[in-house]
Structure formats: C-alpha cells, structure tokens
C-alpha cells in the first residue's frame, strides 16, 4: 500500500513538473505569425521586471536597455509586470508607432499604471473622447491662455518664490519648485489654496509619486502601496470638491474643475464623473512633477556648466536692459525672443528623459523591418535610447544647448526628439512647461546667484529622482 502511495505521489509530482515545464516553454517561446524580435521574456509572469526597475545612478541609458541594445539591436522583446513587450530604440519604428495611432496602434499602459492613474484616465481613452478632452485642456494650457493669463501668473509665482527662498540658509530645490508649481496649477485647476484648505493635497501627490514607477507589490511598507494610498487620499479630496460643486447650482465658473462640471450638466453629456475625476488627478500630477524634475536637473546642469550659464545670463540681462521699467513683468514678446533659452530647455529635457518609456498596443499583427509585433502586444517606445544615441547626438551626455542652434523649431514629436511625446498624444502641457522653465530661468539668472550646499545625485528606477535631494543657497545679485 505504501509503495502505491509513493508511486502516486511521484506520478503527480512528475505531471506537475512536466506541466510547468511546458507552460514555461510556451511562455518563453510565444507563437507568432512571423519572426519575433530577438530578446528574452525572462521568468514566467515575473519576466524581466526586476532588471527593468534596477537603479541607475547616471543620466545615461539604463543598463537594462543598454545591455539589450548591445545584444539584440534597436528592437527587442521583453516582459515587464506580466506583459509581453517590444521595446523600440529605433527612430523609424518610434515615429511609425506615433503616426499610426488609432489605426495600427492605440495608447496603452500596463495594468499597474492603469490602477495608479485610474481606469478612465486620459491615457487610456481613444478616438472622439480623447480629442474632446484634449480640446478642453487646451482651453487652459493652450497658447492663447498662456499669453493672456498664465505667463503673468507664472512670472509672479517665480519672483515671489525665489525671493522667499533667498531668505533661507538653503532650500531643497526639487521640493521647493514642486511646491511652487503645484500651488500655481492647483489654483487654476481646482482653486486650491494650501493656506485655506484642511487637506494637504500636495502631500498625497508626493506619496503617489514616490511609488509611481516601482515594483507593483501592494503591501504596506512598499513604495507601490504608498503610491496607491496617495492616490486614494487625493481622490477623496477631488470627489468631495465635486460633490460640493454639483450641489451648488448657482456657482460661477472660476477654474477648470467648474468647466468639467458644466460639461457634466449638459443635456447629453460626454463627460462622466469618473472621467472628470481621473482627468483632474492626472492634470494635477502632470502639471508640476515633470517640470519640477526637469528644472531641478537644469539648475544642476547650469551650476556644472558656467559657459552655458553665462550665455543664458547675457540673454536675460539684455531683455531686462531693454525695458523702460526694469522691474516690469515678463511679456510674451520677451518670452518669444529667448532664442538661447529655448535651446537650453530642449537640451535639459533631452538629458532629463523624465519619461523612460511611452507605451502603445498593437491592434493587429504588424510587420516592421523583418520583425512581427503580434496583435495585443505592447510596444514601449524608449526616448532615452534615442536622445542619448551618439549616432544622432554627438557626445550625447554633454550639456550643449548650441547643438540646437539654427534647428527648425520643434512643435511636435520627431524621429529624434520625443521628450514631450509624439503623434496625436503630443503633450498638451508642452507650452506650459516651456513657459514655466523659461520664466523660472529668467527670474533666477537675472536676480540671483546660487551655490550647491549638498546633494544633487540622481537615480533612475527607471524614472528620475534625487534621493538625497539637491540643496542650494540663493544670493540676491546687488
């Protein structure tokens, strides 16, 4: 009897091993109607996720991507957080993916990103509804409103913030810039004023950001759990605000949230509560975090490159010297005259690579350069691998704004530059981001000097962060 039990146990064990082996083989050798790009899908389910999230303490392309580019070329396959992906560092494929959105590809992000940003976030919407939301957002962030309203408000915010920081022994620059931009944009979006609100809304977004690009384990103590809690708390504030405003039928429109509520009250509304809340959440996040990171890196790069700082200072001091009133606010004509500043901003965002990957999904089997991208597979366009490619940018890790001299103005994504995305989803906040960066630089270099106190080291996991901060001391110019 005992021997029969042993045989049965061994038979079950052998069957399980064989079943797992067959499953693992099918995982690592997926079927395709053509030739898949080279690469490895890693371990079943886990894939190569751990390697993807490994820290990288430089501005260079992440070791995860760099190693695979050397081994497989500019197009390779992998698996991250349980999804099969084709990673593209190929400028032609990147451009093709952006141009074919809505036909052969659609916007897509891994399930973990969807959980973080919401099922109805703007990145997950397509067709008419996406274009409709984009039109609404451009009312706020388009050039007309930038020129009429936001430039002046941005200039005032930068002046006031820098003056306040100069009175302190030192400031942590990333946190200070984030606070400045968040307070400015949150006021435009939801009339939020931190001094008058019982909810520390920015604190929730900081918690959200810490785990935004982290290993997706929702267990207390993990960065991902902190991220999800931050989103949950921020959404509570937004839902409460929406309920209060929906009940106040006599309220006059004062901010962008009111615009969305007006859309919800239409006879046949396209806007739903879920879409409105997820849109507000994404706008509050995107409006400050990416620009604050880029500006912080920009100030670090300026401190390390005095020749660039000198050229910027000369351009901005010339603008001030041509004013009748030296203390007057920045004008749109002055902003548009900032030729070298525009080059410096392009160079900062090229090196910052705030977005490590832009995701799309293949809607059908797609043949490109001899490879097949199967229907349903994700495609990760990898901007850093293009922006730091020595065949495209000479000495790519050098901070050299002059490389953009005499180049055609970039108003959308190109094969070789996609810091603001590309195609139909070219970032609607691009102009706002450029205005914020130019205005901050103008106020900084015309009125202040600064020195690094401590920190400034960067880590990419794969998003950009300053783990020990970047502390600087500001000195007013005499």
Backbone angles phi, psi at 134, to 5 degrees: -60, -40
> What is the predicted pLDDT for the residue at 227?
76
| End-to-end CA gap in the chain | 97
- In the prediction, which pLDDT does 25 show? 44
pLDDT of residue 112: 63
Residues of the chain with pLDDT under 50: 5, 8-9, 14-25, 27-28
What is residue 78's three-state secondary structure? strand
List 450's β-bridge partners, or say none.
474
Task: Count the neighbouring beta carbons within 10 Å of the beta carbon of residue 406.
Answer: 6
Sole residue written with tokens 């996040």: 285
* pLDDT at residue number 425: 78
CA distance 212 to 285: 11
Strands laid side by side in the 83-88 sheet:
75-80, 83-88, 378-381, 358-362, 105-107
The token duo for 322 is 């041509």
Q: Is 158 annotated as a binding residue?
A: no
The pLDDT, as a whole number, for residue 272 is 87
pTM, 2 dp = 0.88
Model pLDDT, residue 1:
57
Task: Go through 299-329 and write b for each residue having 16 or more CB atoms within 10 A of its CB, e for each that does not.
Answer: bbbbeebeebbebbbebbeebbeeeeeeeee
pLDDT at residue 279 in the model: 86
Cα–Cα distances (Å) from 86 to 58, 285, 462, in that order, read 24, 28, 17
399 within 8 A of 79, measured Cβ to Cβ: no
């Amino acid at each position: 009897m005992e021997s029969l039990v042993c045989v049965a146990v061994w038979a079950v064990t052998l069957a399980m091993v064989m079943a797992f082996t067959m499953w693992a083989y099918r995982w690592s050798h997926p079927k395709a109607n053509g030739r898949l790009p080279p690469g490895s899908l890693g371990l079943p389910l886990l894939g190569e996720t751990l390697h993807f999230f490994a820290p990288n303490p430089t501005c260079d392309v992440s070791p995860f991507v760099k190693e695979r580019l050397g081994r497989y070329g500019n197009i390779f396959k992998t698996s991250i957080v349980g999804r099969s992906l084709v990673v593209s560092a190929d400028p032609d494929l990147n451009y093709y993916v952006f141009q074919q959105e809505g036909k052969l590809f659609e916007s897509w992000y891994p399930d973990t990103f969807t959980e973080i940003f919401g099922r109805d976030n703007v990145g997950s919407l397509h067709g008419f509804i996406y274009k409709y939301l984009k039109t609404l957002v451009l009312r706020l962030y388009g050039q007309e409103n930038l020129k009429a309203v936001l430039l002046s408000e941005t200039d005032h915010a930068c002046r006031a913030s820098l003056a306040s920081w100069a009175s302190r022994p030192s400031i942590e620059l990333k946190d200070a810039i984030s606070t400045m931009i968040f307070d400015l944009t949150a006021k435009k979006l939801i009339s939020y004023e931190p001094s008058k609100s019982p909810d520390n809304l920015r604190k929730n977004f900081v918690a959200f950001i810490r785990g935004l690009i982290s290993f997706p384990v929702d267990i207390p103590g993990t960065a991902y759990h902190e991220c999800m809690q931050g989103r949950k708390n921020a959404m509570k504030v937004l839902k409460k605000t929406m309920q209060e405003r929906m009940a106040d039928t006599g309220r006059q429109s004062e901010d962008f949230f009111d615009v969305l509520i007006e859309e919800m009250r239409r006879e046949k509304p396209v806007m739903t509560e879920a879409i409105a809340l997820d849109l507000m959440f994404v706008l509050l996040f995107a409006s400050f975090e990416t620009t604050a990171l880029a500006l912080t890196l920009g100030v670090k790069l300026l401190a390390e490159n005095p020749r660039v700082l000198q050229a910027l200072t000369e351009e901005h001091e010339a603008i001030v010297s041509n004013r009748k009133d030296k203390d007057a606010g920045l004008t749109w004509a002055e902003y548009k005259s900032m030729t070298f500043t525009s080059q410096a901003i392009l160079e900062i965002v090229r090196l910052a690579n705030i977005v490590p990957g832009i995701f799309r999904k293949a809607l059908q089997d797609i043949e490109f350069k001899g490879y097949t991208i199967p229907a349903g597979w994700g495609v990760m366009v990898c901007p850093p691998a293009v922006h730091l490619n020595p065949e495209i940018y000479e000495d790519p890790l050098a901070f050299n704004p002059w490389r953009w001299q005499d180049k055609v103005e970039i108003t959308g994504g190109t094969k070789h530059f996609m810091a603001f995305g590309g195609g139909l989803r070219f970032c609607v906040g691009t102009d706002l981001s450029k205005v914020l960066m130019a205005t901050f630089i103008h106020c900084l270099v015309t009125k202040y000097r600064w020195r690094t106190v401590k920190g400034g080291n960067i880590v990419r996991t794969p998003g950009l962060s300053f783990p020990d901060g970047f502390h600087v001391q500001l000195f007013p110019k005499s």
